[in-house]
Amino acid sequence: MAEFKLEAIKCKNCGSGLVVEINDFVTYCTNCGSGFEIVDGVLQPIEVNFASPVRPAEGELIYKPFWILKTSVTILERTSSGGFLKNLFGGHDGSGGKLKFYIPAFRMPVDNMKEMATAFTVKDPVPSPQKFNVKVTGFAYGKEDAMKIAEFLLISFEADKSDTMKTFRYEINVDSYEILGIPFYKLSNGNLKDAIIGLSI
């Protein structure tokens, strides 16, 4: 098994050491709660928060990163019979609205990623994220990846729930990018189970 090489850098706000894994896109200061996106080797501030565990389970509790994309979605053209997007936007006319995407930022099988991203996006189960003095690492996907996955999800919502979809054109504008640490339990069989909804990967 390959070892991760860790590199210590300093928090721009409090000077504490930050632990960054190779290929990490984001790092978090457990001392002052500052988050930083690593862009071309430079630390750029980004909001990082954490969800509290709500489901008990046996195993070590760890935090895995999700991109939170707060977006404004406009449906430009839609020829289909499904009503899923109308429900997703809170019962409006289906022409669009505000939508918060939860996109896993760590590696997992594609099917698990789609299941987890869909479940969290539809349920929006974290009403009041907060700062924790915990570590979150393992960022495998950056903003561009997160945006592509969000677009894939939007199309999947419509395609999976419509009887006939002939045309679907849309615009997504991202109002903000944030990072949310979701609690997971490391199970005895090596799998991970999230402590919010209860999905396993």
Instruction: List, for residues 91-138, the tens digit of each pLDDT value.
Output: 555 677 889 999 999 999 989 999 999 999 999 999 889 998 888 878
Tokens of 197: 């909804």
Instruction: List, for residues 126-175, the tens digit of each pLDDT value.
Output: 988 999 888 887 888 989 999 999 999 888 877 765 555 567 788 999 99
How many structural domains compose the chain? 1
- Please report which helix (H) or strand (E) contains residue 66, including its range: strand 60-80
User: Pairing between strand 42-45 and 192-194?
Assistant: unpaired
Question: Is the residue at 138 inside a domain?
Answer: yes
Question: Is the residue at 5 inside a domain?
Answer: no
Question: Is the residue at 22 inside a domain?
Answer: no
Question: Is the residue at 1 inside a domain?
Answer: no
27 with 19: CB under 8 angstroms?
yes
Question: Is the residue at 31 inside a domain?
Answer: no
Query: Is 30 or 159 the better-scoring residue by pLDDT?
Result: 30
CA within 13 Å, CB half, 192: 17
Note the pTM of the prediction, 2 decimals.
0.85
The alpha carbon dihedral of 12, 9, 46, 28 has a sign of negative
Domain housing 105: 47-194
Question: Is the residue at 172 inside a domain?
Answer: yes
Question: Residue 123, SS3?
Answer: helix
Contacts of 104 (CB under 8 A, 6+ apart): 64, 65, 66, 67, 113, 116, 117, 141
